[in-house]
Amino acid sequence: MKKTIITKAATLLAFALMSGMSASALAKACTNKTNLRFQSDSAPYRIDLTNMEDYEVHSTHHEREFGGIASVEVGTTTYTSDRGNNWSGDASFISDEVYIPFIVLKKLPEFGTHTLTIAVQTNSETCSQVACNQSTSQSTCSMVVTYTEKTTPYFLNIDNLRIQQNQPVTLNYTAKDDGRDLKKVVITKDSNELKTCNSNGTSSLSCSVGFAANSLPVGNNYVQATATDSFGNSTRKAVHLFVNEPNLAPAISNITIKNNNVLMPGDDALVSFTITDQNRHSYNQLDLDTFKINAVQYKGSSHCTSSTSNITCTDVPIAATPGQGAMSFLLPSV
């Protein structure tokens, strides 16, 4: 029964060709999949010809087997000896006898949408007591494939930022793709996805993410966006956000006066005290070059030990200042 069907198909094909109709006009669809597309400079594109499923026969008097992909017709041009350069083909067996042919496309003659007609060959041999007869037959199918030039998404420039911790900030990313098939932009921080912006395919896609005041830790923060097109080509853009530590005022404590008695103008009070700064980043810490008492530089003084976060002074001689005849004196500010 199956041999009869093949014979009828071959007869119809021959009639169509004599009538001026193309083989692709009569060929059945190679697959039910749609939107078949691949691009240059990428991995070879495999298409399973699921509608061309067939079987092999191995018996005493009859052999029937898959004979390979005989030819690939692109438009009106037929390629029979081009395998390995532009295409290759074979079959996958889904059981001991049943197979599905497939074709692997590497490139097409030019970019654009093309109708491909595939000829699949079957080899047969029938033997009698007298002789064996060998024959080949071909069945064809067609499909529409789009071949495009490879493009990779890219981002418009976005500057790195330095902000205060109590300052809100919004980052705006804009991705572009000359292939007009951008699918999504994903924004992440520390491998955590913050936002995804999707598209059905476009040449430009914008995506933004905002951070509230005090939501980012002090120091280095990196926020990365990844743009991906319909073929899986992607590119990344990272923005460096440096968050400044809030600048807290130094605190003076542990003030003591060693000679805590009545002082006359011109006498020195021996004062001890501690200055501390809670800030931990150099741009906010104590500037020892500006540490002066009564215009005297005390950096490196024998009375004081100092660091960028702590100054401890002992028995610093400070001249008393009369307080309008009061029995007290004022210490100048540090």
pLDDT band at 4 (very low <50, low <70, confident <90, very high): very low
Kindly indicate the confidence band of residue 203, based on its pLDDT and cuts at 50, 70 and 90: very high
> Is residue 253 predicted with pLDDT exceeding 50?
yes
Residue recorded with tokens 């033997």: 127
CA-CA-CA-CA torsion sign (293, 296, 302, 307): positive
Q: C-alpha 232: how far from its chain's center?
A: 9
Distances (CA, A) of 221 to 101, 103, 239: 53, 48, 8
61 to 3, 58, 127: CA distances (angstroms): 16, 8, 5
Extents of the domains making up the chain:
24-148, 154-244, 251-329
Nearest CA-CA partner of 188 in 249, 152, 247, 238 = 238
What is the structure's pLDDT at 27? 75
Convert the pLDDT of each residue in 179-197 to its tens digit.
Answer: 999 999 999 999 999 999 9
CA torsion through residues 191, 196, 200, 202, sign? negative
Distances, alpha carbon 66 to alpha carbons 4, 59, 143, 176, in Å: 18, 15, 21, 46
Q: Strand, helix or coil at 23? A: helix
What the block records as the tokens of 193 is 């996805």
pTM, two decimal places: 0.66
Q: Say yes or no: domain 154-244 is CATH 2.60.40.10.
A: yes
The one-character DSSP state at 50 is G
User: Of the CATH numbers 2.10.270, 3.30.70, 1.10.530, 2.60.40, which one belongs to the domain with range 24-148?
Assistant: 2.60.40
End-to-end CA distance of the chain: 108
pLDDT (tens digit, 9 = 90+) per residue, 6-39? Answer: 333 343 444 444 444 454 455 799 999 999 999 9
In this prediction, residue 321 carries a pLDDT of 66
pLDDT of 42 higher than 60: yes
| pLDDT mean across residues, the chain | 85
Let me know if the fold of 24-148 is the same as that of 154-244. yes
Q: Region 97-115: what's the mean pLDDT?
A: 94
